Structure formats: structure tokens, C-alpha cells
Amino acid sequence: MTPRPIHALILSATIGLPMAAGAQAAEPLCLQGVNLSGAEFGEGRGTYGEDYIYPSAATVDYFAGKGMNAVRLPFKWERLQPRLRKGFDAKELKRLREAVGLARGRGMSVVLDPHNYARYNGEVIGSAAVPVAAFADFWRRLAREFSGDRAVLYGLMNEPYDMPAPQWLDATNAAIAAIREAGAKNLILVPGTRWTGAHSWRAEGDGGSNAEVMSGVSDPLGRYAFEFHQYLDGDFSGTHGDCPKSAEAAAAIADVSAWLREKGRQGFLGEFGVPASRECREGLAALMDALEKNGDAWIGWTYWAAGDWWPASEALNIQPTPEGDRPQLAALSHAMARTKAQKGCGGQTPGIPGDSKLRLTIP
């Protein structure tokens, strides 16, 4: 989502092969989970335990207990790799590994999410300060660390913005090439520019639309899905307390679903979230319905957000309170219950076994 004040602010179908034109059957959305935010908090590198935190075992247990099987794990690139093209910070890598291990130990898939908006220390990827080769180097190193577990997904970058789409495509393809050169066969999640909004996917911008430019993604294994974000407030940023664009958000899901079918790809809804008002909860239910109706085009979703340090005043937060569950959780639980009633994933964690055709299946 666009920066907020507190922190500076799957489906059993084949990915990578053409889907039947016009296919629109309800399918199980295998990845159903939450962003466990906190490791991206704070300015600069900061101090662990004071400026930022990774998810606790209690938080992971809570959401696993609610039937969620996926965690999107935001963290800061600069903390993991303090100097471009140099090794990772050993302590930070250990924290990241431990957080991934917590979720994997509960049978949850994990999306690694460098939450940097296509920047490093404020400098955009593709600039003289942060060349594309440095971004590729980062992913080459990170891919090696987690290539042994196919239930770890590589989210290339959170919400690139204010950069030409072709510049982001160059960075995307360089990172994918580096990941594959490292020997990793994990599923890669590819965002677009302009905050990777579903509602703006076809909109013209600097260098062209995401729909046009990001069609040029190149992966020798074909093991990637597109990542979208979609909020329901007036400017689709997720930073306001109402949901006047609920209908437009649901329509955007249907629209990018059609684009995905046209391209023979699938999508992942990495961020969406609403305040707890009745209007917004109804909008959330409609968004979940749109995903389910277009389930053939999606591998799943992770709600924004939860985490140990979110304050009670954060409107989109679904971290439980001493009184119990947050109201938004009901719509998510209802959607998960419908999926579990279908044949397919049944709430289990998807893996990506085998070396030929990519399938998200139950290991």
C-alpha cells in the first residue's frame, strides 16, 4: 500500500500455460493469508526491537489457527543488504530465516517482500545510484538462501512507483534471470509500476501501461504470476477511512482477470484491506466474491495487514485485540470457508514440485 504514517509510511490450475479463452469457472484460491507487517517499519536501518520487529510466534499461530495458509513478509532491503552488491547482514538474515521458519513450521507458504517501492536508500532502481545490476545481485543472493523450499515465493518488490514502466520491466527481467541463474525454481511474483494497482493496470503512464509493458516479462521457466494491489477508498491508496470505490475495486479484479486470461497468466492479490465500518466490510465481501468468481485467474491473496506493532487505531489492522477478532476477519473467514468446501486446496499449503510444467498442487 502507499506509505502510512506508522512505518514511513492456490489454485490447482497451471501457471505459465495458456488458459482456455473465456474460462471463468469458480476455482479454489490456494493461497489465503495476511501481510505480517513490522520488519519494514522505521527509518534507515534502525535498531531491531526498537524501530522494527519480525512476526512473533503468537501472531503466526493466531492466523494459522484461523485457517490462513500464507504470509506475505515485508522487510527492508537496506537492512538485509547494507551495501549494494555485498553480502547480507548475518543477524538480519537470521531474523528473516527465523520468521520464514515460523510460518513454514505452521504449514504456511511465505512471500518474501522487499518493501522498498523500487528504491534503495531512497534512490530508484535503474538510477546511477542503484543500477539494475545491483537489484539483480540482491535477488541472486536471496534466491540462493531459500531455493530449497518451493513454498517460499519471491515477491520481487513492493509497489514500484514514479518510474517508467520499461525501466521497471528491465529490472524485473534482470532479477528473474539472476534468480534462475542461482538455480532457484521458486514461483516469482511480478508487480507493475504505479503501485501495481489492479484499477490502473491498463492506464497509460510513463513509458506505457502495465498491461502493455509488463507483457514483456521473461522467465526461462515460466514460473511467475503477476502481483496486484487493490484498495477501496477514494484514491485506491488504502489510507482513508471510507470505501466509496468498492464497486470499482471489484470491477478492477474482473478486468485484470480478463487480461490474465488473455496473456495465459495468473495473478496474486498481495494487498487489499478495509476499515471495520459496515460499508467497508460489505465492499470487502464483494471484492472476495470477485476473486472467487474469477478464481481460474488467481493463485490467491494476502490481506493488508496485521503484525505485533500495529496500533489499535490503524483502520485496516486485523491483529486481534484482547477482546478477540477484528470485524474484517469475518469476510475473510467466510471466503476461506467457501474455498475449503471446494475440491482442490482445502486450506493446505501449495507447493511447486517437479521441474516441468508449473502446477500449484498439494505436496
The catalytic residues are 159, 271
Among residues 58, 61, 70, 131, the alpha carbon closest in space to that of 271 is found at: 70
Strand partners, 154: 112, 188
User: How many residues can be counted in the chain?
Assistant: 363
User: Could you tell me which residues are beta bridge partners of residue 228?
Assistant: 269
Q: Measuring CA to CA, how many Å separate 289 from each of 195, 247, 283?
A: 23, 12, 10
My answer on whether omega of the bond before 276 falls inside 30° of 0, hence cis, is: no
Phi, psi of 300 (to 5 degrees): 150, -160
Residue 192's Cβ-count burial label (10 Å; 0-12, 13-18, 19+) is: buried
Q: Are 217 and 210 in contact (CB under 8 A)?
A: no
